[in-house]
Structure 1
Amino acid sequence: MRQALDRLYLWSGYLSAIFLVGIAATIIAQVVARFFPKVIVVDSTESAGFCLAASTFLGLAYTFRHGAHIRVTLVTRLATGMVDRLIHLWSLAAFIVIMGFMTYWSFDLVYFSFKFNDISPGLLAIPFWIPRSAMAVGSLILLIALLDEIVCVLMGKTPSYVENDMQAYEAHDDTPAVLDRERG
């Protein structure tokens, strides 16, 4: 099960990277198309925006698991033992509630976009359910990652985002965490 979940997060990160390449490709296509104004018309605004949304949401779970989300650790650095564990449980539970709400309504939005054949107003006229699906799937994968994480914390393990964050600090000798440990 652990390998399947890690693979899901990794492939979600790969898809996020592919959509980043999609942003670059559409912008390059628009720049090249400007040299041939009577032959090619490219509107990269919508497609780049859709790729940005897909990249953002599909990359959430991967970055969360690797400790790359911005976290305020002012309190958690001082907490130890059971207090630290309770803080992580509380924050994960709150995050699960928020993401559960968002995931539900994201899929609802996709469903109604499909049902009413909602089309983007730009040059490409893309059905909105397609880019919104990436948002809903990315939200769902993050929700799965959060549930995975809270189960790990309930089992007494260190959260993966903390573990990866500590490894990143240890990779650099001049970071505050390493300097604090060296001082005593």
Structure 2
Amino acid sequence: MIRTALDTLYLVAGWLAGGFLILIFVLMMLLSAGRPLGLNIPAGDDIVSWCMAAMAFLGLAHTFRSGELIRVGLLIDRFPDRTRRVFEIGALLVGCGFVGFFAWNAVMMTWDSWRFLDMTQGVLAIPLWIPQLGFTSGLMILAIAFLDELVWMLAGGANRHEKPRPKSAEEVVEQAIQSGV
């Protein structure tokens, strides 16, 4: 039950990130094509930048759980499985600390913006906590994903945040093609 809820949370965050990406595209096209036609979108650049922050941070948890985050495994890939597992758990502990720290401070920043009635600067004055929600939500979901993976690995589960290592040259080529390298 909880596994389904968490996987759905990560998927919804990924879909929201994709939605913000499409919104960025549409706004950029309207801004670019609208200039010669005399169409002006007030604060279009501000809206695009808020969407960009929301897209980037909301996509982190889905990217992490899909095994698509860039990993540098030059050292850890050479360890035997048991030692590698210890290092993976250590890395997840450090990651939980950093992501938890950033998520907590993002929540506090957004809370303070709401509490002090901070407004955005520029043409479109809206409460600052609204554009900060994408950033804060993305970090909170990423913190949940890191904690989820840490608890899973401490309980004896296999690493789920990394794609399986290729076993043949064909698999290496296939993974390179899929990743767009």
Q: Give the TM-score category using the shorter length.
A: 0.7 to 0.9
Residues in 1 aligned to 2:81 and 2:63: alpha-carbon distance in whole angstroms: 25
Q: Which residue identity lines up with residue 166 of structure 1 in the other structure? A: P
Residues in 1 aligned to 2:164 and 2:102: alpha-carbon distance in whole angstroms: 30
Q: Secondary structure at the match of 1:69?
A: coil
Question: Where do residues 5-24 of structure 1 align in structure 2 (5 Å cutoff)?
Answer: 5-24=6-25
Q: Which residue identity lines up with residue 151 of structure 1 in the other structure? A: V
Residues in 2 aligned to 1:126 and 1:94: alpha-carbon distance in whole angstroms: 36
The answer to whether the Cα contact below 8 Å between 1:12 and 1:58 also exists between their aligned partners in 2 is yes
* Corresponding residue for residue 166 of structure 1: 164
Partner of residue 172 from structure 2, selected from 164, 172, 175: 175
Cα deviation digits, residues 32-91 of structure 1 (max 9, x gap): 321333x63443221111001000110010000011111111112111232111101100
Q: What is the TM-score when the length of structure 2 is the normalising length?
A: 0.87
Change (3 A) 1:9 1:83: same
Change (3 A) 1:144 1:172: farther
Change (3 A) 1:130 1:25: same
The answer to whether the Cα contact below 8 Å between 1:58 and 1:135 also exists between their aligned partners in 2 is yes
The answer to whether the Cα contact below 8 Å between 1:12 and 1:61 also exists between their aligned partners in 2 is yes
- Is residue 63 from structure 1 mapped to residue 58 from structure 2 by the alignment? no
Quote the offset at 1:111 in angstroms. 0.9
Cα deviation digits, residues 13-38 of structure 1 (max 9, x gap): 0000001011111111212321333x
Structure 1 unmatched runs, 5+:
179-184
* Corresponding residue for residue 4 of structure 2: 3
Change (3 A) 1:161 1:117: same
Q: Secondary structure at the match of 1:47?
A: helix
Question: Where do residues 107-122 of structure 1 align in structure 2 (5 Å cutoff)?
Answer: 107-122=107-122
Q: Which residue identity lines up with residue 172 of structure 2 in the other structure? A: T
Q: What is the TM-score when the length of structure 1 is the normalising length?
A: 0.86
Question: Where do residues 9-158 of structure 1 align in structure 2 (5 Å cutoff)?
Answer: 9-37=10-38, 40-158=40-158
Structure 2 unmatched runs, 5+:
176-181
Cα deviation digits, residues 102-132 of structure 1 (max 9, x gap): 1111011101111222222222223210111
Q: Which residue identity lines up with residue 3 of structure 1 in the other structure? A: T
Q: How many residues align?
A: 174
